[in-house]
Amino acid sequence: MAGAVAVVGLVGVPAPPASAISPPAIDPGALGIAQALSGRPAPLEPTQQADQCAEPQLTGSPPNEPPISQRVLELPAAWQFSRGAGQKVAVIDTGVQRHPRLAALQPGGDYVSDTDGTVDCDGHGTLVAGIIAAQPSPADAFTGVAPDAEILSIRQLSLAYEKKDRGGDRPPGTIRADGYGSVLTLAAAVVRAADLGATVINISEVACSPAGSDTADSALGAAVKYAYDHNVVVVAAAGNVESNGPCQKQNEGSGWGAVNTVASPAWFSPYVLAVGSVDADGKPSDLSLHGPWVAVAAIGRNIVSLDSKGGGVGLVNGVQTDEGIRPVDGTSFAAPYVAGLAALVRSRFPNLDARQVMDRIIRTAQAPGTGHDDAIGAGLIDPLAALTAQLPEKSVSEGADVDRAIAAPVIPPGPDPRPRRIAVIGSLTCLTALAIGVAVAIPYRRRRREIDAEYDP
């Protein structure tokens, strides 16, 4: 069960030296509490808004070419095979604001306040949803990976809300921070998404703890296993390394023996497809947390997505702070590219189960020259290959041979996707369990009266 949470800047839990740990075991008995909370989404106690909402902005004109994070995926070629029709992608996040380019948005409930989940005070979940399924517009060149997919929004976390009446002693397990949400409500949201018919779940949050400590995520592990057993592909951000956050220490080296920092739910492989971030040149992003659980990668830079302001109809690529408009980077925005790809694959190959969909995405990724590694897993995702490759029967875990792709449509020459940075919206804050050192992080750093920079896990 999740413990209390607090802004990491207030309470720090130093990571010990790396020690050999084992992959996490699933405790089926821990599922019960998540199921009990999944049927009626609501805060665990009364909450109140304690901070102003995010102020996303668009710097410059609407883009007349897709952002680099999309161009490298050659999505127009992939869309000749699938656009994600018939798929429901659950976004468990800070909520998703209604937007004309998310026409198929469905409410899934709210564990933060009393809404139906289709609000986004933090300006984060809407960005994630737009990357997954934004429909095209003649006004710009941005489109989601799976524009024909549906989005199911479950609001599970907000850094603008807190528990009411925070004074006095707080019993164990009470949430306390400039923010509201925990691994327990995250577990409940995962079960709820599966029960509401999601075929893909995106989790752009991460709970970090030092290797060997009590991760307090047994309910979350049981929940992602529940989703997997119910044929749902769960995609999760790998997490961001940040000097003043709970994901402080990078996992250098390779394998479980090199783990300094555990990231949940990302580490629940093979039930979760964990996503790392690469820069525009294909190199692993410095901020991306490594781990033996990382499966694939996508670009987590140069993000453009949908405006989360009420009544907003356009795009954003920056967030207003006291210091001006600040950029955003992180694995939170790499993950939805993979969730969108999972929707494309599920739509094209409806007979594949969750394991087979995840396996296809992994085996068709563009592997780094050194082979599979703990920074980017099998490599940068390749949507066209994932939709067209002829794969051997054996899965990756069974030692399958290298894939062979069938002929694909010729892709017309496009703009050179050379490395560059554009302004993007965001900030990052990690919330930490005071007693046990667990942190729930989202791509958004917000301290009271401040929206800082670098949005992610």
Q: How many CB atoms lie within 10 A of CB 137?
A: 15
Indicate if the pLDDT at residue 20 is higher than 90.
no
Average pLDDT, the chain: 82
Cα-only R_g, the chain: 20
Pick 445 or 150 by higher pLDDT: 150
**436: confidence class by pLDDT, cuts 50, 70, 90:** very low
Q: Is 401 helix (H, G, I), strand (E, B) or coil?
A: coil
Domains in the chain, CATH or no CATH each: 5-21+48-393+415-451 (3.40.50.200)
- Name the nearest CA neighbour of 194 among 152, 246, 165: 152
pLDDT one-digit tens code per residue, 320-352: 777 888 777 889 999 999 999 999 999 999 999
What pLDDT, on the 0 to 100 scale, is given for residue 320? Answer: 76
pLDDT of residue 162: 92
Q: Which residues contact 89 (CB under 8 A, 6 or more apart)?
A: 132, 133, 146, 149, 150, 151, 152, 198, 199, 200, 201, 202, 339, 340, 342, 343
- Confidence category of residue 19, pLDDT binned at 50, 70, 90: low
d(C-alpha 432, C-alpha 210), whole Å = 12
For the ranges 85-89, 118-122, 418-422, which has the lowest average pLDDT? 418-422
pLDDT of residue 13: 37
Q: How far is CA 96 from CA 73, 101, 182, 296, in A?
A: 24, 12, 18, 25
pLDDT tens, position by position, 22-73 = 999 999 999 999 999 999 999 999 999 999 998 888 988 899 999 999 999 9
Active site residues: 93, 124, 332
C-alpha 386/C-alpha 295 separation (Å) is 14
Tell me how far apart the alpha carbons of residues 5 and 159 are, in angstroms, rounded to a whole number. Answer: 11
Dihedral of the alpha carbons of 142, 148, 152, 157, in degrees to the nearest 10: -20
Residue with more model confidence, 370 or 121: 121
Of all residues in the chain, the percent with pLDDT exceeding 70 is: 79
pLDDT digits (tens, 9 = 90+) for 148-182: 999 999 999 999 999 887 654 433 333 334 689 99
Q: 93: which strand partners?
A: 155
452 vs 52, more confident: 52
Give whichever of 199-213, 382-396, 408-422, 433-447 has the largest mean pLDDT.
199-213
Per DSSP, 149 falls in state S
pLDDT for residue 435 = 25
Is 159 within 8 Å of 95 (Cβ atoms)? no
Which residues neighbour 247 within 8 Å (Cβ) at sequence distance 6 or greater? Answer: 206, 208, 239, 240, 241, 261, 263, 289, 430, 439, 441, 457
Residue 196 CB: number of other CB atoms within 10 A? 16
Query: What is the C-alpha to C-alpha distance for residues 168 and 154, in angstroms, rounded to an integer?
Result: 31
H or E element in which residue 320 lies = strand 318-321
Tokens 């740990």 sit at which residue? Answer: 21
Q: What is the pLDDT of residues 240-293, one digit of tens each?
A: 998 877 788 999 989 999 999 999 999 999 999 999 999 999 899 999 999 999
pLDDT score, position 440 = 52
pLDDT confidence band for 16 (50 / 70 / 90): very low
Within 8 A by CB and 6+ apart from 302, the residues are 67, 68, 69, 280, 420, 421, 422, 424
pLDDT for the residue numbered 11: 27
pLDDT at residue 422 above 60? no
d(CA 360, CA 243): 35
Q: Is residue 399's pLDDT more than 80?
A: no
Half-sphere exposure of 448 (CA within 13 A, CB side): 10
Residue 82 CB neighbour total at 10 angstroms: 23
- The CB density around residue 321, as the number of other CB atoms within 10 Å, is 17
- The sign of the dihedral angle between the CA atoms of 296, 443, 232, 346 is negative
Predicted pLDDT at 314? 94
- State CA 101 to chain mean position distance: 20
**CA neighbor of 181 nearest in space, from 300, 43, 310:** 43
Apex 192 CA angle, 188 and 195, nearest 5 = 145
Alpha carbon distance 419, 186 (integer Å): 35
Q: For residues 457 and 149, which has the higher predicted lDDT (pLDDT)?
A: 149
How high is the pLDDT of residue 123?
93
Read out DSSP for 68-120? HHHHTTTHHHHTTT---TT-EEEEEES-----TT-TTEEEEEESSSSS-S---
Q: What is the pLDDT of residue 287?
A: 93
Q: What is the distance between the alpha carbons of residues 285 and 278, in angstroms, rounded to a whole number?
A: 5
Q: Minimal CA–CA distance to 95: which of 45, 160, 30, 47?
A: 160
Q: Which of 40-49, 113-122, 231-240, 419-428 has the lowest mean pLDDT?
A: 419-428
Q: Would the pLDDT of 142 be above 70?
A: yes
Contact 405, 390 (CB under 8 A): yes
